Amino acid sequence: MKPKIDWFLLGMLLAIGLAWLYPAPGARGGWLHPELITSLGVALVFYLNGLSLSFASLRQGIMKWKVHVVVQGAVFLLFPLIGLGLISVTRGWLPEDLRLGLFYLCASPSTVSSSVALTAAAGGNVPAAIFNATTSSLLGVVLTPLWMATVLQAGHSNSTAGSFSMQEVIWELLLWLVLPLVLGQLCRPWLGGWVTRHRRFVSSVDRGTILLLIYTSFCDSMVLGIWTKHGLMVVAITAAITLALFYLVFFILSAVCQGLMFNREDWIATVFCGSKKSMATAVPMAQIMFGTSPALGMILLPIMIYHPLQLVICGLLATRWKKLALDSTLKSEGQINPSAAQSFDNQN
């Protein structure tokens, strides 16, 4: 079968390449006016998310409280605690802005669209995935900046991004993220049908806006020559750390699900929603928290590497688990065979 091209991943590389070749338009004071376009872009992304979100689907998944506790605990407690360990052990041998970026990756909320899509592809509990992914995005408005402010104020990182006012950031996030999301939901009765019919166009606008935000995020750091100070080795080290981070959280979640005796559908929703991080949310939030800081590109590097890694790994797992679900040995009482899943995981 011919492999499917990930145009968004190619777009990410193109956006970074353009920032390297032509950083002036998206840098502070450039003709793209990043101070304005960033806020408008963030609002557009979350307005489109609000239009696309089905409240009925959200309501269906609300009863799986054990799944919700495990997923949100992983996203906003397990990940950040691991992140604290990462910024401690990397002190002195990784750039300060990159160390902060590793923690920002850990403090970011889970994905929405890809978590739901992969859960569905693997035969998991889709309503639970929708509820957890959406809840994670909303909780992230408060918990992500709270974690970041705690780390910066405690002196765990000497990033050039500096500190920020917690109240101001939450207000900005409410204004540019939550309000557009709510407005999108309110407009859904009138525009929801149009969005469904033109899903591909809406997705293209959404992703195109995120790519524009990525471009402006890297422009200032390119102008100031921050990337010339660090070679490709930094990128390689970051990729290795993010890959190890994914598998660590994934296996911890698998063990918790086995201990709580989750059925197959809940197990899949939990490991997919709990192990993933949203670049679509992390990029706009970073723009609001750190503004046009030249450190922004380095801070976003870990999430930009983690994003394609999680999609590739989870995509392979979803395909495999869907096939395993058809096996009669895995159909008994709707339970997934942990030893079979672990055997596959050990092979990857």
Per residue in 1-60, pLDDT tens? 455 666 787 888 899 899 989 999 988 788 888 878 888 888 898 898 888 887 777 777
Taking each helix axis from N to C terminus, what angle separates 232-259 and 338-347, rounded to the nearest 10 degrees?
170
pLDDT at 324: 77
**Average pLDDT of the chain to the nearest whole number:** 85
The average pLDDT across 166-172 equals: 86
| Token representation of residue 18 | 């353009």
Residue 161: the pLDDT is 64
The two tokens of residue 303 are 């999430």
Write down the pLDDT at residue 162: 63
Q: Which class for 224: exposed (0-12), middle (13-18), buried (19 or more C-beta within 10 A)?
A: middle
With respect to residue 306, please indicate whether it lies within any of the assigned structural domains.
Answer: yes
User: In this structure, is residue 36 part of a structural domain?
Assistant: yes
Q: Is residue 2 part of a domain?
A: no
Please report the pLDDT score of residue 190 as a whole number: 93
Total tally of structural domains belonging to the chain:
1
196: pLDDT strictly greater than 50:
yes
CATH of the domain at 179: 1.20.1530.20
Contact 123, 264 (CB under 8 A): yes
What pLDDT does 102 receive? 97
If we measure between CA atoms, which residue out of 304, 311, 314 comes closest to residue 250?
314
Residue 150 domain-assigned?
A: yes
Residue 279: the pLDDT is 87
Question: Is there a domain that residue 1 lies in?
Answer: no
Contacts 24+ apart (CB under 8 A), 163-172: 164/289, 164/290, 169/145, 169/288, 169/289, 170/141, 170/142, 170/145, 172/288
pLDDT the model gives residue 5: 61
- For residue 255, the model assigns a pLDDT of 97
Q: Give the pLDDT of residue 55.
A: 74
Given a cut of 70, is residue 341 above it in pLDDT?
no
Among the ranges given (62-66, 70-74, 100-104, 264-268), the one the predictor scored with the smallest mean pLDDT: 62-66
Is residue 344 very low, low, confident or very high in pLDDT (cuts 50, 70, 90)? very low
CA distance 250 to 306: 13
Asked whether residue 147 carries a pLDDT value surpassing 50, the answer given is yes
Residue 230 included in any domain: yes
Highest mean pLDDT among 19-23, 72-76, 336-340: 72-76
Lowest mean pLDDT among 69-73, 97-101, 142-146, 332-336: 332-336
pLDDT digit string, tens, across residues 210-259: 888 889 888 877 877 766 676 678 889 999 999 999 999 999 999 999 99
Please give the average per-residue pLDDT across 264-282, as a whole number: 93
Residue 18 in any domain: the answer is: yes
pLDDT of residue 237: 92
73 found inside a domain: yes
Residue-level pLDDT at 214: 87
pLDDT band, residue 206 (cuts 50/70/90)? confident
Give residue 95's identity as a one-letter amino acid code. Answer: P
Q: How much of the chain, in percent, has pLDDT values that exceed 70? A: 87
Mean pLDDT lowest for which of 222-226, 272-276, 280-284?
222-226
What is the reported pTM? 0.83
**What's the whole-number mean pLDDT along residues 162-188?**
87
**pLDDT attached to residue 160:** 61
pLDDT tops 70 at residue 330 = no
Query: If you count them, how many residues does the chain have?
Result: 348
Q: Residue 241 is part of which domain span?
A: 7-347
